[in-house]
């Protein structure tokens, strides 16, 4: 079966994995470093791991920083090959090349030799800190189940039937189930973040409403204080449009200062949130532009209502206003 799958995966950018990142499946193992003192049982490093097929890193878009990834030749019992991530390499071999180093997963077990160092990734959640991770060759050690991962430049859903048919050619009795895109796979892991984003969005909408009401209140109070001035301007020939523009400019100037300060603060604060952002950078220009336009619209609306009322002031009434 391994040979058949090897032929299948050579025809496409595809691979197999015992478990996928950001899923509920989580495996860990102890680690003993060759040449380093054996730690006490309570201090033995425990790291997460996954069993993956050759071309896993290519298919998943994970760069290899040093060495190589797995090949079909790694099915041999010896030497035992593993790939580690950069966090693990820098933690246990700082300032050295990790390729060629050896570790054990059992204090008296056989050694595994590092053949490659992969870039750090997210393994359990998008908000996690960088952590050590191990990759074992699935081509060497049999697993009863695995996930088939296929990378496509087009609509991945359109490939479902073709993938199922190709697998059935290998073995009609082989069950193929739970086919989904990577976005669908990540829905569960992103659920807490999306719930938090929804709650934050509701609070943001409430804050935006209160800000609009505040702008309206401040502008309305300022207009009421300048009723006599507005009446005099109208009596001297100022048109309703002139008064309207004057009041809107006054509010827009203050609103513009507030939006500028808010943007500067958000540029600084969003960098602290970069680890929990998905599908957007912490300085995404489109997002900042849309938020700025929305806030500017709220400011203009909050100023326009009292400005429109001021433009309709009867100069005779305004001049008698106390």
Of 38-47, 222-231, 239-248, 279-288, the range with the highest mean pLDDT is 38-47
| Same domain for 159 and 229 | no
| Average confidence (pLDDT) over 144-163 | 80
Neighbour-count burial for 282-318, b at 16+ CB within 10 Å, e otherwise? beeeeeeeebbeebeebbeebbbbbbeebbebebeeb
Task: Give percent helix, percent strand, percent coil of the chain, each to the nearest 5.
Answer: 50, 15, 35
pLDDT above 70 as % of the chain = 89
Q: Which of 185, 220, 252 is the last residue of a domain?
A: 185
Last residue of a domain, one of 122, 150, 185: 185
Q: What is the pLDDT of residues 175-203, one digit of tens each?
A: 788 888 888 787 777 777 778 778 888 99
Q: What pLDDT does 132 receive?
A: 94
8-state DSSP, 312 = T
Q: What pLDDT, on the 0 to 100 scale, is given for residue 118?
A: 96
pLDDT band (50, 70, 90) for residue 122: confident
Among 150, 170, 185, which residue terminates a domain? 185
More confident residue, 49 or 25: 49
Q: What is the mean pLDDT of residues 27-47?
A: 87
Write out the residue range of the structural domain in which residue 45 sits. 2-185
pLDDT at 190: 74
Do 156 and 219 share a domain, yes or no?
no
Candidates 304, 318, 307, 308; CA nearest to 234 is 318
The predicted structure's pLDDT at residue 197: 79
pLDDT reported for residue 317: 61
Q: What percent of the chain has pLDDT over 90?
A: 21
User: Are both 178 and 233 inside the same structural domain?
Assistant: no
25 with 150, same domain: the answer is yes
Mean pLDDT lowest for which of 31-40, 45-54, 305-314?
A: 305-314
Residues 136 and 264 grouped into a single domain: no
Same domain, 137 and 197: no
Answer with the residue of higher pLDDT: 160 or 90: 90
| Whether the predicted pLDDT of 136 surpasses 90 | yes
Q: Tens digits of per-residue pLDDT, 237-280?
A: 778 788 788 878 877 787 788 888 887 887 777 767 666 666 66
User: Do 170 and 192 reside in the same domain of the chain?
Assistant: no
Model confidence band, residue 1 (pLDDT cutoffs 50, 70, 90) = very low
How would residue 52 be classed by pLDDT, with cut points 50, 70 and 90?
very high
The reply to whether 57 and 98 lie within a common domain is yes
Task: Report the pLDDT value the prediction gives residue 280, as an integer from 0 to 100.
Answer: 66
| Three-state secondary-structure class, residue 14 | strand
Query: Taking a C-beta distance cutoff of 8 angstroms, is the pair 292, 259 a contact?
Result: yes
Instruction: Give pLDDT, residue 86.
Output: 95
Mean pLDDT throughout 45-74?
A: 92
Regarding whether 86 and 19 lie in a shared domain, the answer is yes
Q: Are 86 and 173 in contact (CB under 8 A)?
A: no
Structural domains counted in the chain: 2
Model-level pTM greater than 0.85?
Answer: no
pLDDT averaged over every residue in the chain: 81
Per-residue model confidence (pLDDT) at position 91: 92
Q: Over 60: is that where the pLDDT of 11 sits?
A: no
Given a cut of 80, whether residue 126 has pLDDT beyond it is no
51 falls in which pLDDT band (50, 70, 90)?
very high
Q: Is 264 helix (H, G, I), strand (E, B) or coil?
A: helix
Structural contact between residues 45 and 132, judged by C-beta atoms closer than 8 angstroms: yes
Q: Do 154 and 17 fall into the same domain?
A: yes
- Whether the CA torsion 61, 62, 66, 69 is positive or negative: it is negative
Whether the pLDDT of residue 67 is over 90: the answer is yes
Mean pLDDT value across residues 33-37: 87
Distance CA 180, CA 191 (A): 17
Crossing angle for the helix pair 187-225 and 227-235, nearest 10 degrees?
Answer: 70
118 with 237, same domain: the answer is no
Looking at the structure, tell me whether residues 17 and 143 fall in a common domain: yes
What is the band of 205 on the pLDDT scale with cuts at 50, 70, 90? confident
């Amino acid at each position: 079966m391994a040979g058949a799958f090897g032929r299948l995966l050579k025809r496409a950018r595809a691979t197999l994995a015992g478990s996928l990142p950001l899923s509920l499946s989580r495996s860990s193992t102890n680690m003993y470093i060759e040449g380093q003192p054996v730690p006490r049982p309570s201090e033995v490093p425990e790291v997460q791991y996954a069993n993956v097929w050759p071309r896993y890193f290519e298919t998943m878009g994970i760069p290899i920083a040093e060495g190589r990834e797995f090949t079909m030749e790694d099915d041999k019992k010896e030497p035992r090959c593993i790939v580690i991530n950069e966090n693990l390499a820098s933690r246990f071999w700082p300032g050295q090349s990790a390729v060629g180093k050896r570790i054990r997963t059992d204090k008296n077990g056989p050694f595994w030799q590092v053949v490659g160092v992969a870039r750090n990734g997210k393994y359990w959640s998008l908000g996690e800190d960088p952590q050590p991770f191990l990759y074992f060759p699935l081509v060497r050690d049999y697993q009863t189940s695995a996930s088939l991962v296929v990378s496509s430049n087009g609509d991945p859903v359109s490939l479902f039937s073709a993938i199922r048919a190709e697998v059935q050619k290998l073995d009609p009795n082989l069950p193929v189930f739970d086919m989904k895109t990577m976005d669908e796979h990540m829905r569960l892991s992103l659920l807490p973040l999306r719930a938090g984003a929804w709650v934050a969005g509701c609070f943001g909408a409430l804050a935006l409403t209160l800000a609009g009401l505040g702008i309206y209140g401040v502008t309305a109070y300022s207009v009421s204080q300048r009723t006599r001035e507005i009446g005099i301007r109208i009596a001297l020939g100022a048109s309703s449009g002139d008064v309207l523009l004057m009041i809107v400019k006054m509010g827009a100037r203050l609103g513009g200062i507030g939006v500028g300060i808010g943007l500067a603060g958000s540029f600084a604060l969003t960098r602290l949130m970069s680890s929990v952002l998905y599908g957007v950078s912490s300085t995404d220009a489109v997002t900042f532009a849309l938020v700025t336009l929305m806030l500017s619209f709220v400011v203009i609306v909050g100023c326009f209502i009292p400005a429109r009322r001021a433009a309709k002031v009867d100069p005779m009434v305004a001049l008698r206003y106390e």
